[in-house]
Each structure stands twice: as C-alpha cells, then as structure tokens.
C-alpha cells in the first residue's frame, strides 16, 4: 500500500527534472572586458562597467538566476561575490590589502555561473570569459630618504658658486606622483645658501672665513605629494680662507656646565691685521640673553620668596598669583609657560576680589611688575590698562591706574576730597623706548605722594610730564580693582571691560604703605649670568674697559694689539645659578679700528658665537623620617600638642656618570652612574592634611614663629595644612619642620590623622617625594593598664619606642614590648619545666613503695590531670596579674601590627581593646576563684 503511494510522487519528480533541463536553455551573459581601480591597502575594487551578469532564462527560478562568479588566474588576490541572484549584480574585492609596491597591475579572467535547473544546481551554465584589468592606486605611504647620510663640500671665501654640491633623495612609492622628488628645502635658518628643485646648493653671498670657518645646514626633501623626508640630511660646507683682517682662533660654540664658575670665552683669540697700520682698536662684547626667561637667567622662585630673599618689606599683595581655590581670579587668563607669565591678547581682564587690596593705599605704596610689550596695534592707539581701580557701578571714575598709551607708561592717582581739596598732581608720564621693544623689563613704581618715581631694570627715571587735577567727589559707590583691562561700570548700557592690554605680565604686586629701596629693587631684577674678566690686575697697560649695569655688555679699548688680544682672552662667562636655564646665549663681538693717518682703514668682521649652557643634573629630593606613631590623647590635648616630624630629614642627590663603560663586557662589575649628595636651597614645604580638613574649633597645626627668626622663611596656616616658604637651606627647613606641632583639644571623636609633606625647589621645578605620616590617638576608658598600651611601629631604619602613661606599673614603664614578651615566655617555660620535673619525681617515689601499686598507678600518672598543669608557686602570686597583662599586651601588639599593615582605622583598634579588656576581667575572676586550689597539691592521685 505504501509503495503505491510513493510511485506517483517519483514519477512526478522525474518529469519535473526533465522539464527543468529543458528550461535552462541559455548561458549567463557578462561584458567582454572590465577595467578596475583599487586603492592601495584597501579591499574595494571599483569596476567599469559594473559587474552584472544577465540570463535570458529569467525570470525562471534557478535557471534565470546567477549563483557565482569565478576568477581564473594563478593565485589572484581577488574574489567575486554575488550581491543579488535575481539581478545578477556582483562585486569584486580583494582578499587582503593590496600593496602597490609589490605589483601595480593585475589581469585575469572572470566568468558568471547560473544556478542550474533546480535547487541542487545541476545542469548549470557558465558565461563566456571576460578579461578584467585592475590598476592599483598608490597611497603616499613612504617618505623621501637621502642617498647619503652626510654631504661635504669645500669652497673658497669671497666667491659666488652656481652649484657647490648636489643632494639627492629617493622615494619607494610606486606611482610617479609619489615616487618623484619635487622639492628640496634648507631647514636651517639664517644661512647664506639656497637650493633648487634638483638638489643643487649654492651660496647667496660671498662667504668669509673669518666670519665662519664652517657651515652646517640641514636639508629636507618633499615628494610630489608634499610628504617630507623622515630625516633631514646634514650638509657641511668648509670655507677656505684668504688673508683678510679679522679675529682668528676662536670657537663659535662655547660649552658651559652648571657650577663651572667663570670660564673664558676666547682663550686663544688674536687679531689678524694683515700688516695693516692700526693705531687703536675698540672692541665691544655683547651677551644676548633677551630670549632667556625675562631677559636673562634670573632666579625662578616665586615673587613672594624672592622678596623675602632680597629683604623686601612685608605685605606685598600678588595680583597675578598661581590659579588655585583661594586665588581663582587668574584661572581664566592665558598662561605663557611654567614661569607664571600671563599673556594678554586684548580680550581678557581679571577682577580682583574685594578685600585683597585695601581701598585706601595711603600716600605711600609700591607697584612692581615684569612687562613685555610691543607697539600698540591699530592706527589709533588706545589706552592699554595694566592695573585699574574704578567705580563698580553708576559712574566711570578711575581712582588709580597704571596703563600704556602710545609707548608711554602712565600712572594715574586721583585723590578723594576727604584726602585733599586742592589742585594736585594726578597723572605721571614716562616716555621710554623699552616700553615697546618687545623685551622683558622690570618696572617699579614708588609712590610717595606727591612724588612718584619709576625704576626700570634698576635705573631711576623721573616723569617727563606731570598733569594736575581736582580730587574726586566723595560717593558711596563701590570700587572694582582689575588687571589687564579697566572696568567700566557707568555711562554704558551694561558694565563691561574696556581698554584691554596687549602683552605679557608677571609678578604684578602692590605693597600698601611702603616703598622699596634701590638695593631691594636691584636684587629683585638682578641677572645671575653675565660677562666677567678673570684677573683684572693682569690686564695690559693702556686697556680701558666698561661694563653696563647688568654686565651683558663689555667695552674694551687700547692702542696695542697684543694687549687687546690678552685682554679679550680673559673675558669670561659666569652663571651663578645652581640650576641655570639650559640653552643658547648668543655672543657678538664688534670692533672699530683706527689707522695711522689714513682715510681708508681695515674692516674687522664681527664675531657671532654662542654659549651653550648645559642642563644641570636634576636633583632628587627625598624626605624621610618616622611615618607612623601613636600617642595618648592627653598629649594631643596638652597646650603644646604633639610634634609631628621630630626626626625629619631632607636629602638631595644627583645621578652622575662615574666613567664610560662597556655594559656588555662589564655587566655587573662596574656601575656607570653614582649617586652623589648635593646641597641646595628649597623655596617651600607644605604639610597637607589627607582626608577631612582640620576643624579649627578643636584642632590645628601650630608653629612657634620664633623658630623662623634668623631665617629667610615665613609660614601660612589654614585648615588644609601648613605651608612654610622662602628661599633657605634644607637644614633650616628641617629645623623648622621639626617644630611643627599638632593639637587637638577634643579627641573623643577622632582616632587618627594623616598628613602629607612635600617640598620644592625653584617654584616647583624640582619637587620631593610625597612623605605620608599617620598619627594615631590612643583613648583612655578606665585605669586598667591594658587600655594604655601604645602602638609600636617598626620602620625600615629605626625602632619606635613604646611610651606608657604614668599610672602604669613601675616594673615595665619605658620598656619595649618585645622585651616584655620575652620575659613572659621565659617565666612560662620555667614554670612548665618545674611542674614536669616535680611530676617525674612523684612517679619515681611511688614506684619505690610498691611494685603492685606502681603498675596500677603508672597509667594514672601517665595521664596527667589538666588541673595539675596550672599549679603555680605561692611566691609568684603577686606577679600573676601582671603576667596575664603582659601576655595580653603581647597579643595586642601583634594585633595592632596587623592592623597597621592593613591600614585599619583607629576605631576598630579600640573595639579590639574593649574585647580584650572583657576577656581579662573574666580570666581575673576565674583566677580569684581557683587560686587557693592551684596553691595546694592534689594528693588524690599520689600512692602514698
């Protein structure tokens, strides 16, 4: 019956297959050729025309559908996939990213296949063969490289060359666009050379051997995709001299290592006159340092520390401080670099909060600042405000201001009617070229009304113009002090800034009530580098010399060439900073020559050289000392509190190379570097509170200010910590830090305090490690000795002793816990040995009385009564309680050491102490109940 059911189905299937074979009558059709482009390092191929296969059997299923595209070619890195079987749309793609440098073009055969006569794919047909040609589009991934690592050439001075030498670079890219070099360029600036597109280098002016013996220029290359060479090539051009007058035997580069003192600049220099009739010569040596810091190498301490170091009057208010939570008005200004230089671009101003500067500055005050300013922008120069105190609202009156106008420095001071009621001086004008020379200068305005004096770079300048004005009418309008612009509170729809400053400012301070002396001003702006003369007394006769105030320019004059040579050989460079600013200091030597009775005299070319100041070895400042201790709460609550850092040490070390070694040959034998201790100053040390800030109602950090006397130090205190600042030695900082105390007069709710100590040199340029200190406060709940056990913390370098309160027992006060534990162990072992010996004696005695009883009693005696092991000798009764206390002390010390290692809080330590106290009380009760039994022998087990 089942077979009869399947036979019609099989018959229908066979008929269907035969009909399907007749349906798939046509082959798929594709284009005869394709042209494709693929971008290097990509897998997408763009074909023209698109890859589409057609079949006339469509829309018949399977027969009219495209199932595959097949590529014929040996190991072709491409594959074709069908995107839509019905439409015949396909896509050609790369199996992996294509590299143009390996192969630029690919050609292969592709065919399309339909899906056959049915689902099984039988009776499929394929199209004709089509040719596919693919080009790889290059990507500019390789940069040009030069064929040589160094190019050399020699030229004769005084000639112009069409081509001195040719440099050549190559590129590994595959396409002409990216593989060809389209341009060469000289990277080194200010050199008398040019280069063309073919790499030919020529000189643009006649070279002078006396001016420069050798030129080293860096050249780079660009391919046609404007990709630059990975490494520039050095081209060295030597200049051959001809006899011309000038200075000889001098080095263009003079190296200076920090701490070298004074080194000669030109130890072998001499003047070649070529037998010219020279009667006298004047030589000027100029050290150009205007691009170093603020015009030269100065100390980079904070303004507050420098003023303390130079002995300036106290009370200076920093109007441009480092942005912080307390001094946040400078947070929105542009900071030029780490020297806290503020750059004003004509769009910014800062409001000084009320209360920072007193409203009335009296008749005496000082304004100091570093300023770098250029010509005013625009055709009509406007006022550029540096400092301004104006009405905050309603009106637009300026009470005092310091501003620049048309390269003139102007100071405005308007008195109130309650201070003066007559026509008084109000505006003071100074016209100086330095105001707009784009260089750093130090300005001090000393106001001793009605006299106002300007100091610029230590030199005094009187105002060239003083205008008078009436005092300001009294009013109750509040005033607004601003920096970088002036606040316009009235006469406008909305109050705003106006008269913006263009330039850079630093260390802007105002000191009410006092003026600075010439000595302090000179100290604050003094350069720490300059020119010097070694052995002035050895200068030849007839030599005249003169230094400028900053010792950056030296003029020497004489009529004997040999004496001039010797004098110039003694000129030296000196930098007194321990950590000087590294970099180049340019030197220029110019000479004027007079000849005997001749109108035409020889020309001496200038010398252009430079001093290369090396980077100082960076010091590593290390703070060490006791980093964890505990004291009873009573000590913290005392009048003086607890000294935080009694043994703090500050050490600075530098790493120096001992000698050059071959690491492979001497590995493990010689050390190439050595740590050397050095002494230098610090400019601040901070004791910062970790965690919750100090509560001034119950705790504080304290320091007796007499500890600061005789030192260049000052201190400030806040709830966040204690700051000691000023330029002074590490030893003085140690002495002061050792006197800082912590007091807490309500310790019931606090168990520990954590502090962090950090020191700095050169205003944060070099900083120490973060030294963390943890202080534990031990609380007293009753008179029991166990509640007064101190913490013992063993440090890597020292052992912290245990301090007991006075009510502790006299037998163990001042001892170390480890010694107590040792004594307890010895006593316990002694008692145990005594009991065992006594038991053995009793066994032997019973054995002598009766052998029968001996057999019966031996088993009983070998099974010791546990109560017998706790027998104590009567003379030890008075030591019983201390012994238990000592045992519990040993356990508590071990537990506290574990707590210290895991940084558990003091609160958990107190809970452990209370649990131990309960255990001690329970054990004490048991001792009282059983003491009589322990002092009497148990005779029940004895045979006699």
| Cα 836 to chain centroid, rounded | 70
Low-confidence stretches of the chain (pLDDT < 50) are 1-6, 8-21, 660-669, 782-818, 849-944
Q: Residue 367: its pLDDT value, please?
A: 92
* Rounded-to-integer distance, Cα 194 and Cα 190, Å: 11
Cis peptide before 906 (omega within 30 of 0): no
CA distance linking residue 363 with residue 410, whole number of Å: 18
Stated pTM of the model: 0.51
| Mode of pairing for the β-strands spanning 771-778 and 628-632 | parallel
Interstrand relation of 334-335 and 583-595 (parallel, antiparallel or unpaired): unpaired
CA separation for the pair 624, 628 (Å, rounded): 12
Rounded to whole angstroms, what are the CA distances from 612 to 339, 368, 656, 783?
21, 32, 20, 72
* Backbone torsion region of residue 407, taken as left when φ is above 0, otherwise alpha when ψ lies between -120 and 50, otherwise beta: left
Q: Measured between alpha carbons, how far is 573 from 296 in angstroms, rounded to an integer? A: 13
How many residues make up the chain in this entry?
A: 944
* Helix ranges restricted to H, 760-850: 817-849
Tell me what pLDDT residue 286 has: 93
Query: What residues have CB less than 8 Å from 502, skipping those under 6 apart?
Result: 344, 345, 346, 373, 374, 376, 377, 384
147/167 Cα distance (integer angstroms): 8
Question: How far apart, in whole angstroms, are the C-alpha atoms of residue 294 and residue 672?
Answer: 38
Residue with tokens 């301090």: 803
For 405, the token pair is: 């106008």
Residue 700 CA to residue 636 CA, distance in Å, equals 10
Largest Cα–Cα distance in the chain?
A: 147
Q: How remote is the C-alpha of 686 from its chain's centroid?
A: 18
CA 845 vs. chain centroid, Å, equals 84
Burial of 549 (0-12, 13-18, 19+ CB in 10 A): middle
**Cα 800 to chain center, whole Å?**
36
Q: pLDDT tens-digit profile of 229-286?
A: 988 999 999 998 877 788 989 999 999 998 888 899 999 999 988 777 788 888 999 9
**762, 699, 756: which is closest to 723 by C-alpha?**
756
* 633: helix, strand or coil: helix
In SS3 terms, 553-564 reads as EEEEEECCHHHH
Contact yes or no for 439/372 (Cβ under 8 A): yes
């Amino acid at each position: 019956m089942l077979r009869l059911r399947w036979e019609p189905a099989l018959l229908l299937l066979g008929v269907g297959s035969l009909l399907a074979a007749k349906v798939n009558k046509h082959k798929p059709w594709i284009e005869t050729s394709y042209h494709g482009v693929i971008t290097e390092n990509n897998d997408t191929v763009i074909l023209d025309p698109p890859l589409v296969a057609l079949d006339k059997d469509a829309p018949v299923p399977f027969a009219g559908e495209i199932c595959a595209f097949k590529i014929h070619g040996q190991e072709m890195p491409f594959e074709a996939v069908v995107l839509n079987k019905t439409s015949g749309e396909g896509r050609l793609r790369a199996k992996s990213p294509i590299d143009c440098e390996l192969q630029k073009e690919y050609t292969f055969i592709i065919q399309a296949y339909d899906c056959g006569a049915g689902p099984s794919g039988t009776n499929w047909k394929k199209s004709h063969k089509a040719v596919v040609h693919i080009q790889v589009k290059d990507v500019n991934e390789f940069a040009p490289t030069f064929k040589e690592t160094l190019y050399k050439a020699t030229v004769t001075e005084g000639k112009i060359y069409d081509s001195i030498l040719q440099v050549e670079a190559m590129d590994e890219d595959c396409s002409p666009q990216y593989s060809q070099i389209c341009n060469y360029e000289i990277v080194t600036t200010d050199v008398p050379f040019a280069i063309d597109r073919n790499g030919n280098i020529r000189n643009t002016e006649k070279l002078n051997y006396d001016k420069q013996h050798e030129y080293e220029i860096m050249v780079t290359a660009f391919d046609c995709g404007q990709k630059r060479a990975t490494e520039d090539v050095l081209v060295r051009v030597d200049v051959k001299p001809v006899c011309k007058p000038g200075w000889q035997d001098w080095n263009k580069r003079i190296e200076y290592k920090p701490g070298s003192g004074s080194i000669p600049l030109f130890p072998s220099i001499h003047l070649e006159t070529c037998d010219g009739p020279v009667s006298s010569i004047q030589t000027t040596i100029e050290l150009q340092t205007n691009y170093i810091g603020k015009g030269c190498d100065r100390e980079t301490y904070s303004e507050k520390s420098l003023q303390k170091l130079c002995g300036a009057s106290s009370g200076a208010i920093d109007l441009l401080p480092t942005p912080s939570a307390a001094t946040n008005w400078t947070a929105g200004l542009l900071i030029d670099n780490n020297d806290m230089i503020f750059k004003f671009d004509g769009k910014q101003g800062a409001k000084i909060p009320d209360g920072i500067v007193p409203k009335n500055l009296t008749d005496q005050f000082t304004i100091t600042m570093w300023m770098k300013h250029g010509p005013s922008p625009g055709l009509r120069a406007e006022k550029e405000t540096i400092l301004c105190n104006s009405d905050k609202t309603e009106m637009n009156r300026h009470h005092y201001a310091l501003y620049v106008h048309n390269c003139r420095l102007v100071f405005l001071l308007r008195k109130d009617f309650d201070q003066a009621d007559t026509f008084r001086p109000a505006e003071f004008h100074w016209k100086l070229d330095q105001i707009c020379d784009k260089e750093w200068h130090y300005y001090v305005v000393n106001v001793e009304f009605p006299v106002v004096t300007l100091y610029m770079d230590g030199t005094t300048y009187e105002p060239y113009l003083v205008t008078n004005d009436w005092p300001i009418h009294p009013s109750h309008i509040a005033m607004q002090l601003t920096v970088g612009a002036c606040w316009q509170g009235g006469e406008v729809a909305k109050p705003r800034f106006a008269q913006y400053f263009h330039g850079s400012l630093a260390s802007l301070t105002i000191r009410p009530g006092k003026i600075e002396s010439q000595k302090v001003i000179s100290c604050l702006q003094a350069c720490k580098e300059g020119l010097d003369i070694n052995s002035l007394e050895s200068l030849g006769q007839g030599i005249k010399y003169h230094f400028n105030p900053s010792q950056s320019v030296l003029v020497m004059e004489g009529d004997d060439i040999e004496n001039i040579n010797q004098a110039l050989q003694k000129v030296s460079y000196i930098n007194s900073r321990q950590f000087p600013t590294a970099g180049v200091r340019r030197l220029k030597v110019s000479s004027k020559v007079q000849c005997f009775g001749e109108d035409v005299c020889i020309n001496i070319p200038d010398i252009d050289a430079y001093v290369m100041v090396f980077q100082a070895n960076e010091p590593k400042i290390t703070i060490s000392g006791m980093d964890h201790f505990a004291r009873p709460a009573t000590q913290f609550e005392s009048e003086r509190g607890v000294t935080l850092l009694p043994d703090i040490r500050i050490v600075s070390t530098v790493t120096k190379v001992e000698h050059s070694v071959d690491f492979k040959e001497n590995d493990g034998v010689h050390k190439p570097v050595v740590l050397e201790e050095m002494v230098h100053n610090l400019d601040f040390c901070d004791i910062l509170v970790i965690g919750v800030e100090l509560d001034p109602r119950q705790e504080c950090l304290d320091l007796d200010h007499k500890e600061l006397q005789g030192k260049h130090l000052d201190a400030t205190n806040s709830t966040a910590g204690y700051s000691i600042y000023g330029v002074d030695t590490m030893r003085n900082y140690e002495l002061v830090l050792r006197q800082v105390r912590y007091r807490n007069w309500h310790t019931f709710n606090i168990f520990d305090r954590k502090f962090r100590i950090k020191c700095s040199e050169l205003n944060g340029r070099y900083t120490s490690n973060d030294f963390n200190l943890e202080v534990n406060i031990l609380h007293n709940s009753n008179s029991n000795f166990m509640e007064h056990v101190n913490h013992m913390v063993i440090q890597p370098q020292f052992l912290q002793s245990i301090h007991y309160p006075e009510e502790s027992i006299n037998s163990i006060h001042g001892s170390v816990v480890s010694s107590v534990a040792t004594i307890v162990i010895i006593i316990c072992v002694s008692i145990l040995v005594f009991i065992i010996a006594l038991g053995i004696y009793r066994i032997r005695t019973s054995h002598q009385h009766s052998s029968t009883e001996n057999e019966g009693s031996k088993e009983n005696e070998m099974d010791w009564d546990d109560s017998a092991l706790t027998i104590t000798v009567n003379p030890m009764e008075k030591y019983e309680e201390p012994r238990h206390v000592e045992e519990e002390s040993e356990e508590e010390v071990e537990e506290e050491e574990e707590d210290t290692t895991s940084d558990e809080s003091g609160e958990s330590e107190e809970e452990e102490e209370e649990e131990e106290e309960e255990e001690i009380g329970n054990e004490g009760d048991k001792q009282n109940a059983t003491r009589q039994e322990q002092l009497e022998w148990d005779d029940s087990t004895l045979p006699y």
